[in-house]
C-alpha cells in the first residue's frame, strides 16, 4: 500500500480541471448547439406540454443513437426503470437482483413495483455487477421453478436482474447474459449513466429485454429532467407508451382509460432540449474521453492512487471520472483537500444495503463493492474540460 501525497494530487487535478483557478463543479451541462432555437420554437408555437413534434423526433433520434428499434421518453430515469421492470414481469413480492453499488434510483424503482432488491457484488474490472460472482451466488441460493427461479432461502421468485453501468463503464454484458439465460432471468439494463458508451462497438441499453436511461441535469446529455425506455421489442414499446400516458385510448375527444397507469410523459419542451443535446453527443463523448486521457497521463506516476480506466472491449463515455486510493483511510483527507481547493470531488454512493430502508433486503457477500465504496473518489468531469481551448 503506497502513501498518497494529497496536496500534490490535488494540485495535479487542479492543473487540468481549473488551470485558471476558481471553483469547478463535478459535472455541468454544456449548451452549445440548437437548444435555444428548439426551445424557442416550443414557446412560439405553444407546444410545450406532453404532445409535440420534438417528443416524436427525440424518441426516433434516441433509438438510433442507442442502437435499438424503439425509445419511449418519460419524466425521469427512475420512472423509466420502474416501467421497464413492470414490463419485464416484475410483480409485488418478487426479488430483483441488482448491485449494492449503485445510485438509489435503482433499488427505488424496484421498490416502486412492490418488489424487493436483492443485492449482489461488483467487479473491479468494471465497477458494475460481477457476472461470475452472481453465477456462483445463484448456484448457492436459487432453484428452478415453473414461473422462474426462486430464492430457496426466502421462497420468493427471482424476477429479473438489473445491471447498472457505473459512471458509464460497461458491465460485462456478454457474461451476464449467459448467466441470465441459464436461469431464465430477464435483463433490465440500467443505462442511466452510459449513453454514448460502447461495448464491442455496440451501444448500451438494448442488450437485455429492455433498458432505461436518464437525462438529469448532470448526465452526459440532459433534458433538464427526463428519462427513456429502450427496447428492440415493438410490443413492449407500445405497452410502455400506453402505461406512461395514463393508459388513454386514442380518440379525437373522449377521455377513456382502460387500466390504472402513470402520467410519466416527457413534455415537448424537454424533448426539444434533448434533440439539441443529442446532436452534440459525439462531441461530448470525444471531449470526455480526451479529458480522461489527460487525467490518466497526469496521475500515472502518483503513488497511492490510480485513475480508473475503461474495461477491455469498451469505449466508455467517462461520465464521471474516478480515482481509486490505495489506502481508504486517506479518502476523506483527499475529499477535504480537493473541495477546500475549489475542486468538487465526491465519494462513491453508500452501499444500498446500508441505507435504512434496504438493510433487511437479501444480499450476498460484498467484498468488492465495499472496497470500491471505501476507496473511490469522483473528480471533475464536465465535457467543457476536455474541449479545445481547455486542453
Query: 22's torsion region: left (phi>0), alpha (psi -120 to 50) or beta?
Result: left
From the number of C-beta atoms within 10 Å of its C-beta (0-12, 13-18, 19+), residue 98 rates as buried
Question: CA 92, CA 69: separation in Å to the nearest integer?
Answer: 29
* pTM for this model (two decimals): 0.96
Which residues does 217 contact at the CB level (< 8 Å), separation at least 6? Answer: 29, 224, 225
Helical ranges in 142-267 per DSSP H: 173-183, 234-244
Q: What is the pLDDT of residue 20?
A: 83
- What mean pLDDT do residues 7-21 have? 93
Tell me the average pLDDT of the chain: 96
Secondary structure letter of residue 224 according to DSSP: S
pLDDT tens sequence across 195-243: 999 999 999 999 999 999 999 999 999 999 999 999 999 999 999 999 9
Q: What is the pLDDT of residue 1?
A: 79
Do residues 345 and 330 make contact, with C-beta atoms less than 8 angstroms apart?
A: no
Question: CA 199, CA 196: separation in Å to the nearest integer?
Answer: 10
Structural domains in the chain, sorted by start: 6-30+281-386 (3.90.1150.10), 35-279 (3.40.640.10)
The answer to whether the Cα torsion of 64, 66, 68, 70 is positive or negative is negative
* Confidence category of residue 74, pLDDT binned at 50, 70, 90: very high
**Backbone φ, ψ for residue 305 (5° rounding):** -155, 145
Q: 92: helix, coil or strand?
A: coil
Query: 46's torsion region: left (phi>0), alpha (psi -120 to 50) or beta?
Result: left
Do residues 136 and 114 make contact, with C-beta atoms less than 8 angstroms apart?
A: no
- What mean pLDDT do residues 104-122 have? 98
pLDDT tens sequence across 294-307: 999 999 999 999 99
Structure-block grid coordinates of residue 288:
470526455
pLDDT at 383 over 80: yes
Do residues 224 and 48 make contact, with C-beta atoms less than 8 angstroms apart?
A: no
Q: What is the pLDDT of residue 169?
A: 98
Based on its alpha-carbon atoms, the radius of gyration of the chain, rounded to whole angstroms, reads 21
Which of 373, 321, 378, 324 is CA-nearest to residue 349?
A: 373
pLDDT at 391 over 50: no
Q: What is the pLDDT of residue 153?
A: 97
Amino acid at each position: 500500500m503506497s502513501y498518497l501525497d494529497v496536496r500534490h494530487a490535488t494540485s495535479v487535478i487542479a492543473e487540468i480541471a481549473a488551470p485558471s483557478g476558481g471553483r469547478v463543479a463535478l459535472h455541468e451541462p454544456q449548451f452549445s448547439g440548437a437548444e435555444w432555437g428548439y426551445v424557442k420554437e416550443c414557446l412560439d408555437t405553444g407546444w410545450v406540454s406532453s404532445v409535440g413534434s420534438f417528443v416524436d423526433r427525440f424518441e426516433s433520434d434516441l433509438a438510433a443513437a442507442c442502437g435499438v428499434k424503439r425509445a419511449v421518453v418519460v419524466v425521469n430515469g427512475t420512472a423509466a426503470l420502474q416501467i421497464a421492470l413492470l414490463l419485464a414481469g416484475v410483480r409485488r413480492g418478487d426479488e430483483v437482483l441488482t448491485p449494492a453499488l449503485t445510485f438509489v434510483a435503482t433499488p427505488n424503482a424496484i421498490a416502486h413495483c412492490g418488489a424487493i432488491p436483492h443485492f449482489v457484488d461488483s467487479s473491479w474490472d468494471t465497477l458494475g455487477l460481477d457476472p461470475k460472482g452472481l453465477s456462483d451466488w445463484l448456484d448457492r441460493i436459487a432453484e428452478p421453478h415453473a414461473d422462474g427461479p426462486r430464492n430457496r432461502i426466502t421462497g420468493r421468485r427471482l424476477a429479473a436482474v438489473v445491471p447498472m453501468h457505473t459512471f458509464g463503464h460497461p458491465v460485462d454484458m456478454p457474461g451476464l447474459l449467459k448467466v441470465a439465460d441459464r436461469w431464465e432471468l430477464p435483463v433490465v439494463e440500467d443505462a442511466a449513466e452510459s449513453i454514448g458508451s460502447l461495448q464491442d462497438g455496440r451501444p448500451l441499453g438494448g442488450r437485455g429485454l429492455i433498458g432505461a436511461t436518464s437525462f438529469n441535469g448532470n448526465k452526459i446529455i440532459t433534458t433538464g429532467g427526463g428519462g427513456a425506455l429502450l427496447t428492440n421489442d415493438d410490443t413492449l414499446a407500445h405497452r410502455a407508451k400506453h402505461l406512461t400516458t395514463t393508459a388513454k385510448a386514442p380518440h379525437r375527444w373522449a377521455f377513456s382509460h382502460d387500466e390504472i397507469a402513470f402520467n410519466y410523459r416527457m413534455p415537448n419542451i424537454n424533448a426539444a432540449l434533448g434533440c439539441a443535446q443529442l446532436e452534440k453527443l459525439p462531441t461530448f463523448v470525444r471531449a470526455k474521453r480526451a479529458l480522461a486521457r489527460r487525467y490518466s497521463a497526469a496521475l500515472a506516476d502518483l503513488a497511492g492512487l490510480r485513475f480508473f480506466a475503461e474495461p477491455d472491449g469498451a469505449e466508455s463515455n467517462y461520465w464521471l471520472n474516478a480515482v481509486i486510493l490505495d489506502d481508504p483511510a486517506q479518502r476523506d483527507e483527499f475529499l477535504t483537500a480537493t473541495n477546500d481547493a475549489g475542486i468538487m470531488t465526491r465519494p462513491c454512493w453508500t452501499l444500498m444495503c446500508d441505507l435504512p430502508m434496504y438493510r433487511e433486503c437479501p444480499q450476498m457477500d460484498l467484498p468488492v463493492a465495499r472496497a470500491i465504496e471505501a476507496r473511490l473518489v469522483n473528480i471533475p468531469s464536465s465535457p467543457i474540460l476536455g474541449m479545445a481551448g481547455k486542453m
